[in-house]
Amino acid sequence: MLQFVFLQAQPGGNPLLSMLFPFLILIVFYFFLIRPQMKRQKDQQKFVESLKEGMEVVTTAGLIGRITKIDGPVVRLMVDEKTFLRVVKSSIQGEYKAQ
C-alpha cells in the first residue's frame, strides 16, 4: 500500500513570525498601490481647482476645447467656432498641449 506523508506545521511556533508576513503585505500594498493613487487624486483635485478661462483642456471622454466660462461645478467649452459644450469640472482630465 501507498502511504502519504503530509507536512504539518510544528505546534508552538513563534506567533510573531506568523503575523509578520500579512503585515508586510499590507505595507507593500500601501506604498505601491494606495499611496500613489491618493497622490494622483490630490494632484487632479488641485488641477481642477486651478482651471481658468482661456485654457485648452481635454476631458476624460477625449473632447478638446477651450474654457470660455466657469460657473461653479460646470465649465463651458468651445470645441469649434460656434459650438459650445457644458461639462462638469471633474470630467476635465488635463491641459491639452498640441504636439
Render pLDDT for 36-94 as a digit per residue (tens, 0 to 9).
Answer: 999 999 999 999 999 999 999 999 999 999 999 999 999 999 999 999 999 999 999 99
The total number of structural domains that make up the chain: 2
**66, 94: one domain:** yes
Residue-level pLDDT at 12: 58
The two beta strands, 83-88 and 74-80, are: antiparallel
**81, 59: one domain:** yes
Higher pLDDT, 19 or 66: 66
Rg (CA), the chain: 26
In a domain, 7, yes or no: no
**64, 90: one domain:** yes
Query: 21: left (phi > 0), else alpha (psi -120 to 50), else beta?
Result: alpha
Range of the domain at 67: 52-99
Which residue, among 67, 57, 61, has the nearest Cα to 97 in the 3D structure? Answer: 57
